[in-house]
Structure 1
Amino acid sequence: MAGVQTFSYRGAARFSTPGRLIILHPDELHDGGAGGEDGLTYRMIYLPPEKIMAALEGLATALPFVRDPVADDGQMRASLIEALDELDGEMGELKRDGLIAEIAHHLLRLGDARGRAAKSIDRRALALCRDFLSECAEEAINSQRLEEIAGLDRFTLARQFRTLYGTSPHRYLVQRRLSRARAMIIAGAPLAEAATASGFADQSHMTRHFAKTYGMPPGRFRALTLAAHAEEEKHPASPRHCRGLRR
């Protein structure tokens, strides 16, 4: 995040700068420190190897090994930023499982694990999950609930869902909740009520996701909506008259 990271890994001296990723295999010894007087700031995730292998069931026969420990990969960086953003709070199970599936996929792509042919996508099972997420977005939904609906394990479900719909089950659920909250705010509901009725833990939880998605906090969105309604009341639209075309 800041400064220069220096470390020894697999018999060589390495370094990394802000924005780059350091990927270390659990069986390899390493050290680490700051490469300058200004110090170092970084964030790290330890992922148990068994979680990675569970997420790659049917795709790999061995734990991926990334030979170059310093990577500059935009796709994996985006997944890690999302995961690291939640480290100061409690990450929900559904989001955690989806992120593990994503990170495992990136490790497989960057590494040299022996692969298998991917299994076909169960479109019917995924459609059932999608419909459930849409219709029951206000409920507390976890990975086990989706496993029961789909008949798939959570990592296969997360991987196939992303392949078919372009997003994880958790992100899909958040977007459905945001759509409900937005509609309630436009209808005049208080922000706290819109948050809880849409399935968010509280107003601050909704605010964080709302600002990420719509580029402004819900309070600002509500103020703009009220201002637009007031302007419409002062200046109602004039009725339109259609005129026939002359031949």
Structure 2
Amino acid sequence: MGGTADTAAALGWAEYWRDDTRGLEAMHARFRDHVYAPHSHDAYSFGVTDAGAQQFHCRGALHTSAAGMVMALNPDDPHDGRAAADLGYHYRIVHVSPQIVRAVLADAAGVADATDFAGRADLDLTADSGARADLSLPAGGVGRADLDLAAGGAAWGDLSLPASGGARADLDLAAGGAAWTGRSGESGQSGQPGPSNHADPFAAAAPLPLFTTPVLGDRRLADAIAGLHAALAADASPLARDERLRAVILGAHLRGATRPPRIRTLADGAQRMAACRARDLMREAYPETLSVELLAEAAGCSRFALYRAFAAEFGMSPSDYERQLRLRHARALLASGSTPADVAAATGFADQAHLARWFKRAYGITPGVFVRGGHA
């Protein structure tokens, strides 16, 4: 991920990062006179106003985001933007591709892979928020979809599809607020265009969220967005980035979308077993950095279930535990006489300053004070 800074303008500045491999973008800016022309993004946008205030037109109304407020925009939501205060505004924003959002939601729902939805789909759709189910059924056999439509009375709909080529059924089960399922360039909920669900095997299991309120007053979500932005900008570990990305997507979905995400959790015994398996693998593999895919495979559960289980059992996230292993190793090396610079290199910190910063955050003292304390 690269970064560039535009500091020439006296009235504002902007920093920008992009990770093309993951479909992520992040920007950190301060503007006073800059005016955004009407535009939209092909991604979800989650931002937080740090200082000042900004206002923008979106979804037929004028919205103002003051300090501490969150902005949540759907893909293809047209909007503009300008300062709403004399001193301008300071904000951070992250753009996340619909594919990443869908993958995170499918993982939280416990959907392992596309084969879970090949040929037969059993969907439990809530009564108060009708939905749109996009079912793609494989070629070569009669596809069957049994839909539980809990709208008033429990109704069953059996859809038999012909055995020719791959058949697809677009079922509009609209009632109230729904999922974001429109094909790009076509109408989604409320006549707004949305990302395509076609060719996506997780479409029915993890419908994309729809945010109808572009500005939210949610301190916890604001902190999560700031944390994700910091992880992207500071080249945090892949594990830390993944944790924070999931926290933003699921947090925004829970607190700002028209319907909550589907979440599958582990029973108590399975939860402890999953957490212990992941922890044991991290201990055995240290100092190797493990991917979240390997940890989830070892734990025998989804990434979401792993993160939740680990925090419940050990009081910290896997990335926090990974850093703790490195810090404990650093203490041992410092005590044995290694220099802070050598210790930083041996324990996976970017440099001596990076080690010192985390060492002090964890133990309240710098590595130098720790070393001198052993000579007293």
- TM-score band, normalised by the shorter chain? 0.7 to 0.9
- What is the rounded CA distance, in whole Å, between the counterparts of 1:53 and 1:126 in structure 2? 25
Q: Which residue of 1 aligns with 2:322?
A: 173
Greater Cα offset, 58-67 or 9-18: 58-67
Cα distance change of structure 1 residues 17 and 210 upon mapping to structure 2, 3 Å threshold? farther
Distance 1:77 1:213 in 2: 24
CA distance in 2, matches of 1:16, 1:131: 45
| Cα gap change, 1:30 to 1:138, in 2 (>3 Å) | same
Q: Which of the numbers 264, 275, 289 marks the counterpart of 1:126?
A: 275
* Structure (1/2) with the larger helix percentage: 1
How far did residue 14 of structure 1 move? Answer: 1.0
What letter matches 1:108 in structure 2?
Answer: H
Aligned pair in 2 of structure 1 residues 116, 39: CA closer, same or farther (>3 Å)? closer
In structure 2, the partner of 1:223 is: 369
| Partner of residue 240, structure 1 | none
1:65 maps to 210
Matched, 1:162 2:211: no
Q: Which residue of 2 aligns with 1:76?
A: 221
Corresponding position of 2:105: 56
Residue type matched to 1:113 in 2? R
Question: Where do 1:17-166 residues align within 5 Å?
Answer: 17-57=66-106, 58=109, 61-110=206-255, 111-116=257-262, 118-121=264-267, 122-123=270-271, 124-166=273-315
Q: Distance in 2 between matches of 1:117 and 1:38?
A: 43
Which residue of the other structure, out of 339, 345, 348, is the alignment partner of 1:199? 348
How far is the alpha carbon of 1:46 from its aligned partner? 0.6
TM-score scaled by structure 1? Answer: 0.77
Q: Secondary structure at the match of 2:96?
A: coil
Instruction: Answer yes or no: is the 8 Å Cα contact 2:254–2:260 preserved in 1.
Output: no
Q: Where do 5+ consecutive residues of structure 1 fail to align? A: 232-247
2-side partners of 1:134 and 1:7: how far apart? 49
Question: Is the aligned partner of 1:10 residue 2:59?
Answer: yes
User: Which residue does the alignment assign to 2:42?
Assistant: none
TM-score, normalised with respect to structure 2: 0.53
Cα 1:202/1:117, change in 2 over 3 Å: closer
Question: Residue 86 of structure 1: CA displacement?
Answer: 3.1
State the 1:127 CA deviation: 1.0
Q: Per-residue deviation at 1:114?
A: 4.8
Q: CA deviation at 1:215?
A: 4.5
User: Which residue is 1:189 aligned to?
Assistant: 338
Shift in Å at residue 189 of structure 1? 2.6
Contact 1:55/1:156 (<8 A) preserved: no
Q: Is the 1:137–1:198 contact (alpha carbons within 8 Å) kept by the matching residues of 2? A: no
Report percent identity of matched pairs: 31
Single out whichever of 140-149 and 4-13 deviates more from structure 2.
Answer: 140-149
Write out per-residue CA displacement over residues 190-244 of structure 1, whole angstroms, 9 at most, x where no aligned residue.
Answer: 112222332324323323333443445x3xx423651x4454xxxxxxxxxxxxx
Report the Cα offset of residue 106 of structure 1.
0.6
Q: Per the alignment, do residues 187 and 81 of structure 1 end up closer, same or farther by CA in structure 2, a change over 3 Å counting?
A: farther
CA 1:107–1:166: 2 relative to 1, 3 Å: farther
Q: Per the alignment, in what secondary structure is the counterpart of residue 80 of structure 2? A: coil
Q: Give 2:265's aligned amino acid.
A: K
Q: Distance in 1 between matches of 2:353 and 2:87?
A: 34
Per-residue CA deviations over 1:36-87 (Å, capped at 9, x if unaligned) read 3423321110111222222222177422334332223232233222222234
Separation (CA, whole Å) in 1 of partners of 2:258 and 2:313:
25
Q: CA deviation at 1:117?
A: 5.4
Amino acid at match of 2:325: R
